[in-house]
A = this chain, B = another copy of it.
Amino acid sequence: MVDVFGVRLQERIRALGPLCVGIDPSKQLLEAWGREDTIEGLEFFSLAVLEAVIGTAAAIKPQISFFERFGSEGFQVLERLMQDARDADILIVADAKRGDIGSTNEGYADAWLSDRSPLRADALTVSPYLGVGALSPLFETAQATGRGVFVLAATSNPEGRIIQTARTTDNEMIEEVILRSVAELNHRDDGLGSIGVVLGATRDKPQFNLSSLGGPYLVPGVGSQGATADNVARIFERCPQGTVLVNVARAILSAGPERAGLRDSAQRWRDDLSSALL
- CB < 8 Å: which of B108, B118, B134 contacts A157? B134
Across the interface, do B163 and A177 meet the contact criterion of CB distance under 8 Å?
A: yes
- CB < 8 Å: which of B24, B108, B167 contacts A166? B167
- CB < 8 Å: which of B26, B76, B130 contacts A155? B130
List residues of chain A with CB under 8 Å of any chain B CB.
Answer: 24, 26-27, 63, 65-66, 68-76, 78-79, 97-108, 110-111, 114, 117-119, 127-134, 152, 155-169, 174, 177
A77 to chain B, nearest CB (A): 9
> Could you say which residues of chain B place their CB within 8 Å of the CB of A79?
71-72
Interface-centre pick from A99, A107, A128, A168 (highest chain B CB count, 10 A): A107
> Could you say which residues of chain B place their CB within 8 Å of the CB of A26?
103, 106-107
> Could you say which residues of chain B place their CB within 8 Å of the CB of A162?
131, 168, 177
> Could you say which residues of chain B place their CB within 8 Å of the CB of A117?
69-71
Across the interface, do A100 and B131 meet the contact criterion of CB distance under 8 Å?
A: no
- CB < 8 Å: which of B66, B73, B111, B156 contacts A65? B111
A32 to chain B, nearest CB (A): 13
Across the interface, do B165 and A108 meet the contact criterion of CB distance under 8 Å?
A: no
With contacts A102-B157, A131-B160, A133-B159 known, what are 11 further pairs, Cβ within 8 A?
Answer: A24-B104, A27-B106, A63-B107, A65-B100, A70-B111, A74-B111, A129-B163, A130-B155, A163-B177, A166-B166, A166-B174
When chains A and B are docked, how far (Å) is the Cα of A38 from the Cα of B161? 42
When chains A and B are docked, how far (Å) is the Cα of A62 from the Cα of B117? 20
> Could you say which residues of chain B place their CB within 8 Å of the CB of A152?
129-130
A96 to chain B, nearest CB (A): 9
When chains A and B are docked, how far (Å) is the Cα of A108 from the Cα of B107? 19
Across the interface, do A69 and B111 meet the contact criterion of CB distance under 8 Å?
A: yes
A31 to chain B, nearest CB (A): 13
